[in-house]
């Protein structure tokens, strides 16, 4: 979602924050803006469009300042225009504010402010917050007190960063649901951002700002209070990845880099969790809890939801454990079954997904055990669930998730084996599954060798107006994720469903030359797919089948066949097929000239409901 960065210190703050916000471009945005003090005034520059538009204006002025804040906006209230871009300014109070999130009661507050003579320049809810802070600031209190007072009048999920021309070298921050991270620099500099990635070139020491905390960031240090002004201690930590892990490393796009990182990501995900024949997951529930749990609710959005479907397949097949998968945005409104013996599993790359956090609060209210599967250490979900498993995938920059999905699916398999060990499930050969996991990184590497073939197929079908993704059992779940990738970055409509459902409606969409991608990795039901393939071909469709390299049954049936390395387990056989399908989406998008890492209308971390 929107990006925030702020800096105070000895360097040119304008250059620093522009560099910081550039590292957050992966979140998706449609306008940018910067504020910094110059000659006793706050200079504010804002531009719709990409960061390059703002940077061109800044370069013309070539300013220098020791304090600056910058914002990249993804429009919610008001179109992406110069006026609606942040920072927002209260002329009377001479303060500027940048904001992530949504102010739910902004209309009633705005009406009251207008009655008191306030004049608004934008259509945004964020400008209302700036005027609320400004109104309090004009009472003569310090900026941080004005922020504390203002927040108590607001409803919603938000993070603010505020500066005043009258209090130089001070950046005031407050968090309510939307993430903010403090960075501790050296030699009289400190900073703040909505993501650690932005600050990696400048520091490795960080602290997560908790909900309802106000931080005053100055060159000399950081002071934190709650909304009542009482001091709060911050717990600092050191980031576990470096700048290079968040750079392209010679690849054309972050997405391609992250696809190629997947063998190492799987190794990192498995590191320390596999012994010779068993899985060891530290810090989870006591053994007796796994005997009590009679149902699992997996709650997630987008790609993480698709990983959750893989978890459902695994838990029900391996553990005979009833499992439901819920869209986070629908969970609270569907009256879910939340028995005291159930487990709620929250899957999120960022750990800040607003809908998932809202669902988590509901589970906590019902005193349901909660487990998080997240990538970002220190994120809200990681801190608020009862127990957490980290995917250990490193920073994922591209908006379209690739390596995070594979890591989530692997963690779900580790969890399934862990539960099977605790429950001593008859017929589950956990030692064989452990060995299959140990071999899986090599299988992913072998799947990457299919890149040339996927490029050629992408060239043939880049102009498609519709693509089908089909499969059965675990392959049907992979089809959903593969279709999402193509929609996200190539903007091609897709139809995805279990292959057997084609004749119940979707078959009507098949036309001459329509591409249908079949996952056929499941040996037990591969023959069932042949009739589905024939249904497509009889109507002029073109079939691409993904199957094991030990199978030749489809060679003379499908027009294109992609041969995958065997993984000695149906779950992993299906999972490895996502690698060439990610590359298919990537190269089709590239052929179409799409902006791959930052697809239109989308954002990396969705921190509003």
Rounded average pLDDT per 10-residue block, the chain, 609 residues? 90 97 79 94 94 95 96 82 95 93 88 94 94 96 97 89 94 89 94 92 92 96 96 88 66 92 91 88 92 95 97 96 94 84 94 90 94 87 93 86 97 96 86 95 97 97 96 96 97 93 88 94 88 91 94 92 95 98 98 92 62
Query: Which of 310, 604, 328 lies closest to 479, judged by CA?
Result: 310
Q: Is the dihedral angle over the CA atoms 363, 174, 134, 101 positive or is it negative?
A: negative
Helix, strand, coil percentages in the chain from 3-state DSSP, rounded to 5 = 40, 25, 40
Residue 413: its pLDDT value, please? 97
* Contacts for 269 with CB less than 8 Å, ≥ 6 apart: 391, 392, 393, 407, 410, 411, 414
CA dist 293 and 344 (Å) reads 10
Helix (H) or strand (E) run with residue 441 in it = helix 430-448
Listing DSSP states for 94-144 in one string gives TEEEEEEEEETTHHHHHHHHHHTT----SS-SHHHHHHHHHHHHTTT--HH
At the topology level, CATH places domain 449-609 in Rossmann fold (3.40.50)
Which pLDDT score is estimated for 26? 64
Specify the pTM: 0.72
Q: Is there a catalytic annotation at residue 204?
A: no
263 with 439: CB under 8 angstroms? Answer: no
410 CA to centre of own chain: 17
Q: pLDDT tens across 140-152, in order?
A: 999 999 999 999 9
Q: What is the CATH topology of the domain spanning 248-448? A: Rossmann fold (3.40.50)
Out of 22, 46, 403, 604, which one is annotated catalytic? Answer: 604
Q: Which CATH superfamily is 3-239 part of?
A: Aminohydrolase, N-terminal nucleophile (Ntn) domain (3.60.20.10)
Answer yes or no: 152 catalytic. Answer: no
Structure tokens at 493: 């409509």
The active-site residue out of 2, 269, 301, 567 is 2
Measured CA to CA, the distance from residue 70 to residue 49 in angstroms comes to 15
DSSP state of 577: T
- Report helix, strand or coil for 2: coil
Answer whether the bond into residue 87 is a cis peptide, omega within 30°.
Answer: yes
Q: Evaluate whether 3-239 and 449-609 have a shared fold.
A: no
CA–CA separation, 72 vs 21, rounded Å?
7
Angle at 371 between CA 417 and CA 279, to 5 degrees: 20
DSSP 366-403: TT-EEEEEESSTT-HHHHHSSEEEE-------SSS-SH
Q: Which pair of tokens denotes residue 322? A: 């009833």
Going by C-alpha positions, the residue among 526, 521, 525 that lies closest to residue 577 is 521
Contact 158, 178 (CB under 8 A): yes
**Of 376, 306, 378, 387, the residue nearest 343 (C-alpha):** 387
Query: Within its chain, how far is the Cα of 99 from the centroid?
Result: 19
Residue spans of the domains in the chain: they are: 3-239, 248-448, 449-609
> At CB < 8 A and 24+ separation, what contacts does 50-54 make?
51/18, 51/21, 51/22, 51/25, 54/18
At 84, give phi and psi (nearest 5°): -80, -15
Q: Are 190 and 9 in contact (CB under 8 A)?
A: yes
What pLDDT does 245 receive? 61
* Tens of pLDDT, residues 435-490: 999 999 999 999 999 999 999 999 999 999 999 999 999 999 999 999 999 999 99
Alpha carbon distance 9, 190 (integer Å): 6
């Amino acid at each position: 979602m929107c990006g925030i960065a702020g800096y105070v210190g000895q360097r040119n703050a304008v250059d620093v924050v522009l560099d910081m916000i550039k590292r957050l471009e992966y979140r998706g945005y449609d306008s940018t803006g910067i504020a910094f003090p110059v000659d006793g005034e706050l200079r504010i520059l804002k531009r719709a469009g990409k960061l390059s538009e703002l940077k061109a204006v800044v370069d013309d002025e070539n300013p220098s300042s020791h304090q600056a804040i910058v914002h990249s906006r993804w429009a919610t209230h008001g179109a992406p225009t110069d006026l609606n871009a942040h920072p927002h300014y209260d002329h009377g109070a001479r303060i500027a504010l940048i904001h992530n999130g949504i102010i739910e009661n902004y209309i009633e507050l705005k009406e009251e402010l207008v009655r008191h003579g306030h004049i608004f320049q934008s259509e945004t809810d964020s400008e209302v917050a700036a005027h609320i802070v400004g109104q309090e600031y004009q009472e003569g209190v310090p900026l941080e007190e004005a922020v504390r007072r203002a927040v108590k009048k607001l409803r919603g999920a938000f993070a603010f960063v505020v500066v005043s021309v009258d209090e130089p070298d001070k950046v005031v921050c407050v968090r309510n649901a939307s993430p903010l991270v403090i960075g501790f620099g050296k030699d009289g500099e400190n900073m703040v951002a909505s993501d650690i990635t932005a600050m990696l070139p400048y520091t490795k020491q960080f602290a997560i700002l908790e909900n309802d905390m106000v931080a005053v960031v100055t060159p000399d240090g950081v002071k934190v209070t709650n909304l009542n002004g009482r001091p709060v201690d911050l717990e600092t930590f050191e980031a576990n990845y470096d700048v290079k892990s968040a750079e392209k490393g010679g690849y054309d796009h972050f997405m391609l880099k992250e696809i190629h990182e997947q063998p190492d990501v799987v190794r990192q995900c498995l590191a320390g969790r596999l012994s010779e024949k068993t899985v060891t997951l530290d810090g989870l529930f006591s053994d007796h809890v796994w005997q009590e749990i009679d149902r699992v609710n997996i709650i997630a959005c987008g790609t993480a939801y698709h990983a959750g479907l893989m978890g459902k397949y695994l838990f029900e097949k391996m553990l005979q454990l009833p499992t439901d998968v819920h869209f986070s945005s629908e969970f609270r409104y569907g009256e879910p079954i939340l028995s005291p013996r159930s487990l709620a599993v929250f899957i999120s790359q960022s750990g800040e997904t607003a809908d998932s956090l809202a669902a988590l609060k509901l589970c906590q209210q019902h005193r349901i055990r909660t487990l998080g599967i997240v990538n970002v250490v220190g994120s809200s979900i990681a801190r608020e669930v009862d127990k957490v498993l980290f995917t250990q995938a490193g920073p994922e920059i591209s908006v379209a998730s690739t390596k995070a999905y594979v890591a989530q699916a692997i963690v779900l398999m580790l969890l399934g084996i862990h539960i099977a060990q605790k429950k001593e499930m008859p017929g589950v050969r956990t030692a064989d599954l452990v060995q299959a996991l140990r071999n899986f990184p090599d299988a992913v590497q072998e799947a990457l060798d299919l890149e040339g073939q996927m490029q050629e197929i992408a060239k043939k079908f880049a102009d498609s107006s519709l693509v089908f993704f089909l499969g059965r059992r675990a392959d049907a779940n992979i089809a959903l994720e593969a279709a999402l990738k193509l929609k996200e970055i190539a903007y091609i409509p897709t139809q995805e469903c279990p292959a057997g459902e084609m004749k119940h409606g979707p078959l009507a969409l098949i036309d001459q030359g329509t591409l249908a991608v079949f996952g056929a990795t499941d040996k037990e039901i591969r023959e069932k797919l042949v009739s589905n393939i024939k249904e497509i071909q009889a109507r002029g469709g073109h079939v691409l089948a993904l199957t094991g390299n030990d199978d030749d049954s489809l060679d003379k049936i499908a027009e294109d066949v992609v041969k995958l390395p065997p993984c000695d387990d149906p779950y992993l056989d299906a999972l490895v097929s996502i690698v060439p399908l990610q590359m298919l989406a990537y190269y089709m998008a590239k052929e179409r000239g799409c902006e791959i890492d930052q697809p239109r209308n989308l954002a990396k971390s969705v921190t509003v409901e």
